[in-house]
Amino acid sequence: MLLNSLLFLGGLLLLLGGGEALVRGAASIARGLGVPPVVVGLTVVAFGTSAPEFVVAVTGAATGAGGIAFGNVVGANIINIAFILGLTAVIHPFVVHPTIITRELPMLLLAMCAALVLSLDQLLGGGNNMLLRGDGLILCLLFAVFVYYTVMALRKTGTDEFVEAAQAIGWRLRVKTMLTPAGYVLLGLAGLGVGGNLLVTSAVEIAGQLGMTPAAIGLTIVAIGTTFPELATSLLAARRGEADLAVGNVVGSNIFNILLVLGTASVVAPIEVPARGPVSLAIGTGLTLLLILLIYTGKLRIRRMEGVLLLSVFAGYIAWVVFSTVE
């Protein structure tokens, strides 16, 4: 138990350091290329902070631990919105970029609904609830659509100007000026990946010693562990005044988790959906709708009161998982 606790602490420190480096590098790249921070948050940062979920989900699916793989992704998405955005709003209320409410959140809602429908085989008369390889391919296809959509948005928000400038002054000079920010990003991604693996591995060992079921571990301990990168990155971004990066990071990570991470894991090996899996997906879908409603009614602003509401939902979710029978 002592060794696992030390590994857990070491992983947490690596995650926090990686989050700091990633925010610095991503913000510098955004300024250097003339790209809005929200776009960087929805791509580079979101992918980097989803790396622990990706590793855990794919490894879990390949080794037959489908409950951990599924619970990790769904639990992480719930925690990202309810806990991370809630805590960020309580500490530092923020304004949401308009494109989040008009483009990214609707895409996240579509992704959650798609995963929910694909997980309801029993209700639809198809036997046990499973995410088969075909279901995974559908999720991956939706992810490809999301990437294409984001790239098109990127081209409209500064890429053309970047290409013209690069052609005018030479690619070598442009690459040279971007080496330091890129180094920060790579260092941050490395810290997040190694730290996430250390934290999750030790947390699973500790939870196993406490007698928790695999699905419960995935929905709570593992999900909380793998969302530390999002938490660290979002809090640091908010502290630095990069609210767009913080929100874009969470929304982008959730899209990556459901479409790319869960989709890839399902392609690697079919995943049996836990008994409480569809309910957890429904909770995640409802949270996405709630976030859209809060942003819309708050005129693109998330205040401390809304943050407290999200944290209350998180507390209720944890209580439900702990006190219900999860298989």
Tens of pLDDT along 297-316?
888 888 899 999 999 999 99
Band of pLDDT at residue 47, cut at 50, 70 and 90: low
Strands 301-302 and 94-95: antiparallel
Instruction: Name the band, by pLDDT with cuts 50, 70 and 90, for residue 288.
Output: very high
Residue 108 reports pLDDT greater than 90: yes
Please give the pLDDT value at position 313.
94
Q: What is the 3-state secondary structure (H, E, C) of the chain?
A: CHHHHHHHHHHHHHHHHHHHHHHHHHHHHHHHHCCCHHHHHHHHHHHHHCHHHHHHHHHHHHCCCHHHHHHHHHHHHHHHHHHHHHHHHHHCCEECCHHHHHHHHHHHHHHHHHHHHHCCCCCCCCCCCEECHHHHHHHHHHHHHHHHHHHHHHHHHHHHHHHHHHHHHCHHHHHHHCHHHHHHHHHHHHHHHHHHHHHHHHHHHHHHHCCCCHHHHHHHHHHHHHCHHHHHHHHHHHHCCCHHHHHHHHHHHHHHHHHHHHHHHHHHCCEECCCCHHHHHHHHHHHHHHHHHHHHHCCCEECHHHHHHHHHHHHHHHHHHHHCCCC
Residue 125 pLDDT > 80: no
| Highest mean pLDDT out of 4-8, 20-24, 115-119, 165-169 | 115-119
How high is the pLDDT of residue 162?
38
pLDDT (tens digit per residue) in 230-247: 787 777 777 777 666 677
pLDDT band at 96 (very low <50, low <70, confident <90, very high): confident
What average pLDDT does range 85-96 have in this prediction? 86
Decide if pLDDT at 285 tops 90: yes
Specify the range with the lowest mean pLDDT, choosing from 51-65, 136-150, 196-210, 311-325: 196-210
pLDDT of 32 reads: 74
Q: What is the pLDDT of residue 207?
A: 67
Query: Does the pLDDT of residue 255 top 60, yes or no?
Result: yes
| Average pLDDT over all residues of the chain | 78
Q: How confident is the model at residue 175 (pLDDT cuts 50, 70, 90)?
A: very low
Structural domain spans, the chain: 36-159+200-323
pLDDT(180) > 90: no
- With 50 as the cut, is the pLDDT of residue 10 above it? yes
The 10s digit of each residue's pLDDT in 138-167 is 999 999 988 887 777 766 655 443 343 333
Q: What is residue 36's predicted lDDT score, i.e. its pLDDT?
A: 64
Q: Is the pLDDT of residue 25 over 90?
A: no
Structure tokens at 26: 């991503």
Task: Answer whether 25's CB lies under 8 Å from 183's CB.
Answer: yes
Among 83-92, 121-130, 180-189, 202-211, the range with the most confident prediction by mean pLDDT is 83-92
* CATH architecture group of domain 36-159+200-323: Up-down Bundle (1.20)
